Structure 1
Amino acid sequence: MESFNFKSSTRIILGKDSFKDVGKYIKPHSSKILLHYEGELIKKLGIYDSVVTSLEENEIEFVELSGVVPNPRLSLVKKGIDICIENDVDFILAIGGGSVIDSSKAISLGVPYNGDVWDFFTGKAEPTKSLKVGVVLTIPGAGSEMSESSIITREDDSTKAVCDTEFNIPEFAILDPQVCYSIPTKLMCCGIVDILSHLMERYFSPTENIELSDSLIEAAMRTIVKLGPKYLENPKDYNTCAEIMWTSTVAHNGMIACGRIADWSSHRIEHEISAIYDLNHGAGMAAIFPAWLKYVKEFNPKKIESFSKNVFNCENGIEALEKFFKSLGLATTLKELNIPEDCFEYMAKKALGSRETMGNYVKLNAKDIINILEIAMGGRKI
């Protein structure tokens, strides 16, 4: 087991209509906030009106910034920073999924910083403070509601980058499983893929003597594999949606992975695809992760055997994983997603950045990444 330093200070409030009390969780921290969200969805769901009512009841002023899109944009982050500074805002409420939460985190980092907030995403600078962020979660999957991560896309060169810092950890997160009822089924299924991907990135680790952590991750993966069909059978089952939401949070809050080194190469590869082609991240992971597994399967056959047996109760877990993704109605090849092959070398170069290799389970160079992309295309067998 590796040494670790784990911190999590997020209050989780899960329950029916829990977002109607959001004002009381903000009041101890602020009397003027930025309300940050996607667009019209939260208004159609009735979340917006309930949140505004709660803010007014708790005498909390707010300014709004909507327009967040999947793969959240740096330009909107900078706009949010300006709004916060101009209006003397000291707290941000994110209403949405991972894109809104990540955008809110980036804004919170940028407000007290004198330079370009992008510095934190390139490693040029390290955050030393931030505004506090609260979350009303509407789409489970990203796990950003309790994590230290923020992922932002710079439009100028289609670069997607991550900033990991404890200053990103939200103050609270409100999870109402009922909001899942109105989310398009495909979007929920993409979220399910994302949850499983977060778990697999941590499961396939070079670290030894991590039996507790292995068992926790395997249990979470089994749970998601079981919940997928149950969700499709009844998308409005409260308990199914509640378990998906909670598993999503647990999968990415860091605790389940304490003491082990995660891989993250599949995520880095997919980030280049979604940054260039504006693809939903979960949809991309459904094609990339099985391809990565096929490419590295001989590195540690015992780990693949454990994955197959303990998660899918079968002999070929990679094949079972693909079938699971297909059962959710998702594509498992880049060809099905209409991703062309002519950018593979460019993607590999961007994924590596200034490094010669990436990944921890298996070190991948540019040629390795291209090979994985070719497998994900669906034409190359291995």
Structure 2
Amino acid sequence: MNNFKFENKTAIRFGKDRLETELHDAVAQFGNNVLLVFGGGSIKKSGLYDRVISILSDMNVVELSDIAPNPKIASVRQGQELVKKYNSDVILAVGGGSVIDAAKVIASSKFYDSDPWDLVSNPEKRQKIEQLPLVDILTLSATGTEMNTGSVISNPDTHQKLGTYGPKTPAVSFLDPQLTYSVSKWQTAAGAIDIFSHLTEQYFDNGANDVTSGIMEGLYRAVIKNAPIALAEPDNYDARATLMWTATMSLNGLTSVGNQNGWTVHPIEHELSAYYDITHGVGLGIMTPRWMKHVLSDDTLPRFAQFGRQVWGITGTDKEVAHRAIQATFDWIKSLEVPTTLPEVAINDDTHFLDMAESAVQVGQLNQDAYVTLQAADVVHLFKEAMTEDDFSK
């Protein structure tokens, strides 16, 4: 097991109906000037917006709405203007990963006087400046951003989608599974695949150890079991609660302790989102089985066999189990009724494949730090494989 440092200071408030009794003080402890950040109209349709405004009625609340999926730097720039103009003390983010990701970078941008894209393209700058405290109300189980320091921001002008890390996790995160009842089947499925992918990026690692492997195997089984239940029964509290906590636990730092390698499929999918603005989780679902098939070798076979036995409950020889596990992964993704090829998300030609591949290798350092190193030609191959259905069982 490699050396590691682990610390997470986010206060999780998990469970039903806690906002009316706890949200006000959770926000007010940081000051009276609040920037409320949220997405489209869903929180207004659900009544959550009115609840929040009522709870914070004695505070100075300024709003920033319309944070888009794959959050754009334009929204962060708007947020920077607002936190400076109104001298915000705290940010309250209400929504899913995109809203919270944008809010984190806005929280840093108050203390930065130039373009906040600098804080995305060069995250080290964020480590040298302050960051406003952030309170969030999570409405989608997916990214785990509610308990980590990371954000992913897109710049459509430059075709870039980059990860950035700040010095702080959210101060307080409210996780009420009931708030995910109204999440669409599409977003529920995409979120579940995102959880699965976060685990995969960390499970297939040359620094893997028995402790974190066992934790991840349990989390894998939880998302595999409960995603279909949540799709079939949107108001099933136990299924929604399990997905919500699995998402948080999969990326709060606990499952990555002792790890050695960087991530692979996320940098590849970020290029798809940057160029085509597709749903992140869906893109991960398309690329993950292709990556698994590509990197399966004599060297990686034992890990894939363990994955098959401990996650999917498959028996047989190592080779049989490994191949069937990759097929099981594809079959589960397809069972969630999402696209499983690039043409199904309107990517019909290879126009940008090389540019995307070269960027993914550079940004993700896939030729240096990946579990199995990849060159641009390998990534192009993966994109081409994703153009058609495939048999992953052999």
Aligned to 1:98: 97
Which residue of structure 1 lines up, in the alignment, with residue 333 of structure 2?
Answer: 325
Q: Structure 1 residue aligned with 2:385, among 366, 370, 375?
A: 375
Looking at structure 2, the residues matched to 331 and 78 of structure 1 have their Cα atoms a distance apart, in angstroms, of 33
Task: Give the equivalent residue in structure 2 for 1:158.
Answer: 159
The change in CA–CA distance for 1:124 and 1:107 in structure 2 (over 3 A counts) is closer
For the 8 Å contact 1:194–1:282, the answer to whether it is kept is yes
AA partner of residue 371 (structure 2) = Y
Output the CA distance in 2 between the equivalents of 1:86 and 1:335. 45
Matched with 2:2 is 2
Instruction: Give TM-score, length-normalised by structure 1.
Output: 0.95
Per-residue deviation, 1:118: 1.7
Q: Quick one: distance in 2 between partners of 1:133 and 1:53?
A: 19
Check the 8 A contact 1:193/1:285 in 2, yes or no: yes
> Which AA in structure 2 matches 1:106?
V
2:175 is aligned to 175
SS at match of 1:318: helix
SS at 1:13 equivalent: strand
> What is the match of residue 336 of structure 1?
344
Gaps of 5+ in 2: 315-320
Q: Matched residue of 1:342: which SS?
A: coil
Question: Aligned equivalents of 1:149 and 1:75: distance in 2?
Answer: 18
Ranges in structure 1 where 5+ consecutive residues have no aligned partner: none
Give the match for residue 25 of structure 1: 26
- The residue that corresponds to 1:135 in the other structure is 136
Distance (Å, rounded) in 2 between the aligned partners of 1:116 and 1:203: 36
Displacement of 1:358: 5.0
Q: State whether residues 285 and 333 of structure 2, in contact with CA within 8 Å, keep that contact through their aligned partners in structure 1.
A: yes
Residue aligned with 2:344, SS: coil
Q: Map 1:69-80 to 2 at 5 A.
A: 69-80=68-79
Matches within 5 A, 1:84-95: 84-95=83-94
Give the counterpart letter for 1:28 in structure 2.
Answer: Q
2:82 aligned residue: 83
Quote the Cα distance in structure 1 between the aligned partners of 2:258 and 2:183. Answer: 35
C-alpha distance in 2 between matches for 1:294 and 1:264 = 16
* Correspondence list, 1:213-228, <5 A: 213-228=212-227
Is 1:53 the counterpart of 2:54? The answer is yes
CA contact (8 A) 2:136 2:146 kept: yes
Match for residue 265 of structure 1?
A: 264
Q: Given the superposition, is the C-alpha separation of residues 358 and 369 from structure 1 closer, same or farther in structure 2, using an over 3 Å criterion?
A: farther
Q: Distance in 2 between matches of 1:270 and 1:174?
A: 29
What residue number does 2:211 align with?
212
Match among 348, 358, 363 for residue 349 of structure 1: 358
Residues 193, 262 of structure 1: alpha-carbon distance in 2 compared, 3 angstrom cutoff:
farther
Measure the CA separation in 1 of the matches of 2:84 and 2:355.
Answer: 38
Identity of aligned residues (%): 33
Alignment: residue pair count: 378
- In the alignment, what sits opposite 1:286? 285
In 2, are the aligned partners of 1:4 and 1:258 still within 8 Å (CA)?
yes
The SS at the match of 1:378 is coil
**Distance in 2 of aligned mates of 1:268 and 1:77:** 21
Say if 1:120 and 1:163, in contact at 8 Å, map to a contact too.
yes
Q: CA deviation at 1:272?
A: 0.5
Secondary structure (helix, strand or coil) at the match of 1:89 reads coil
Deviates more, 1:40-49 or 1:352-361: 352-361
Give a deviation string over 1:66-102, Cα, whole Å, max 9, x none. Answer: 0111110101101110011111112110000000001
Change (3 A) 1:380 1:346: farther
The one-letter code sitting in structure 1 at the alignment partner of 2:358 is: K
Q: Is the 8 A contact 2:360 2:366 kept in 1?
A: no
SS at match of 1:33: strand
Deviations 1:1-39 (A, max 9, x none): 111111211011111122333111111111111000002
User: Do 1:262 and 1:360's aligned partners in 2 also have CA atoms closer than 8 Å?
Assistant: yes
Whether the 8 Å contact between 1:358 and 1:365 is mirrored in structure 2 is no
Q: Contact 2:190–2:280 (CA<8 Å) still a contact in 1?
A: yes
Change beyond 3 A, Cα 1:311–1:381? closer
Query: Match of 2:318?
Result: none
Tell whether the 8 Å contact from 1:334 to 1:377 is kept in structure 2 after alignment.
Answer: yes
TM-score (norm 2): 0.92
Q: Distance in 2 between matches of 1:111 and 1:70?
A: 23
Q: CA deviation at 1:180?
A: 1.4
Name the SS of the counterpart of 2:36 in structure 1.
Answer: strand
For residues 273-320 of structure 1, the C-alpha deviation after alignment (integer angstroms, 9 at most, x for no partner) is: 011111110010010111100100114101110111111112211000
> In 1, are the aligned partners of 2:188 and 2:231 still within 8 Å (CA)?
no
Letter in 2 for 1:320: A
1:260, distance to aligned residue in structure 2 (A) = 1.5
Change in CA separation of 1:379 and 1:332 when aligned onto 2, cut-off 3 Å? closer
Which residue of the partner structure matches residue 149 of structure 2?
A: 148
Tell me how far apart the structure 2 counterparts of residues 329 and 18 of structure 1 sit (CA, whole Å): 33
- Distance change (3 Å), C-alpha of 1:381 and 1:237: closer
CA distance in 2, matches of 1:240, 1:125: 38
Q: Is the 8 A contact 2:264 2:366 kept in 1?
A: no
Match among 363, 366, 372 for residue 373 of structure 2:
363
Deviation at 1:375, TM superposition (A): 1.7
**RMSD, matched Cα:** 1.6
